[in-house]
Amino acid sequence: MEEFSTIASLRARLAKERATGRTIGLVATMGSLHAGHLSLVDAARQSSDCVILSAFVNPLQFGPHEDFARYPRDPVRDRDLAAARGVDVLFTPSAAEMYGAGSDVRVVAGEVGSRLEGAVRPGHFDGVLTVVAKLFNIIAPDIAFFGQKDIQQVILVRRMIRELDFAVRLTVVPIQREPDGLALSSRNTYLSPTERASALALSRALRAVAAEWRDGETDAGVLRARMEEILHAEPGVVVDYVVIVEPERLAPVTRAVAGIIVAVAALVGRTRLIDNVILGEAYA
């Protein structure tokens, strides 16, 4: 595995790949790698000749009172995990490399970016789409791999690719979970053992609702009420939202059909967790 920290050196390296017609797969991460990220690497490994993993804690997507400073960072471990999993090129730019002095131009995520996560984290998706657009321009990947875990991010990246005409294919990788159901997340390291036990209510509620839907319940109001009942029964969990929405604009639906998203965000202690299922698709 080769590692680059400057845009110019990475571009020079990738030019060689392209010259020989090799396809490039991009896995964009904020580092602190876990098995969820590595499943994206596996998917990329399967369908691209050259797998590039970026590990960059993007300051633009953190609000002023969010956890940018304490976000977990472990570059040495990341390097080992990436190399062992078959990453060809690791890209670890500094914030100064990505956003030079006076950097001010941003991608605007629009209305869909102001819903759900965007409602609680204003500007978050402008920051996400700006860094993803930069990575697409720097790397020009044939395929980009994103996790369903961050479903609103997936929807917005898909919209950006379409609306801003990026020549990139998007592959969405299912959510990787702990054996007990907890969706893997770098932020899980913030949870105390008690909080971690409480956090299981999110996946438990999603599982219960998916099971009811499979048994024939399609009334979104009923399914939502069931979710809330399970979540409110867990004292350590403060629900931010439970939504049943369509996958284009994230607008609420009244009938839950296959492809509809059930998404939840909640505070467990001071940690904000998100999780979701897509009805009709496999989930753990």
Taken in order 56, 187, 207, 239, the sign of the CA dihedral is: negative
CB of 198 or CB of 203, closer to ligand AMP: 203
Residue closer to ligand AMP (CB basis): 30 or 205: 30
Q: Which residue is nearest to ligand AMP (CB)?
A: 147
Residue 215 Cβ vs ligand AMP, minimum distance, rounded to whole Å: 26
Q: Tell me how far, at minimum, the Cβ of 44 lies from ligand AMP, in Å.
A: 11
8 A C-beta contact, residue 75 and residue 54: no
Residue number with CB closer to ligand AMP (142 or 150): 150
Which residue in 26, 9, 52 sits closest to 166, CA to CA?
Answer: 26
Q: Cβ of residue 256: shortest distance to ligand AMP, in angstroms?
A: 23
Asked if 149 and 261 count as a contact pair (C-beta separation under 8 A), the reply is no
Query: Which residues of this protein are in contact with ligand AMP, per CB under 6 A?
Result: 29-30, 36-37, 39-40, 146-147, 149-150, 173, 175-176, 183-186
Over its C-alpha atoms, the chain yields an Rg (Å, rounded) of 19
Of residues 37 and 196, the one with the C-beta less far from ligand AMP: 37
Distance CA 185, CA 188 (A): 5
Q: Ramachandran region of residue 16, left (φ > 0), alpha (ψ -120 to 50) or beta?
A: alpha
Would you say 79 or 149 has its CB closer to ligand AMP? 149
Catalytic: which of 34, 37, 124, 232? 37
Least distance from C-beta 173 to ligand AMP, angstroms? 5
Q: Least distance (Å) from ligand AMP to the CB of residue 16?
A: 26
- Is residue 37 part of the annotated active site? The answer reads yes
**Strand partners for 3:** 90
| Dist. CA 239–CA 266, nearest whole Å | 4
Cα distance between residue 36 and residue 57, in whole Å: 17
Let me know the angle formed at the C-alpha of 282 by 278 and 284, rounded to the nearest 5 degrees: 100
Query: Could you give phi then psi for residue 73, rounded to 5 degrees?
Result: -135, 130
Using the Cα atoms of residue 122, residue 276, residue 136 and residue 162 in order, give the sign of their dihedral: negative
Catalytic residues: 37
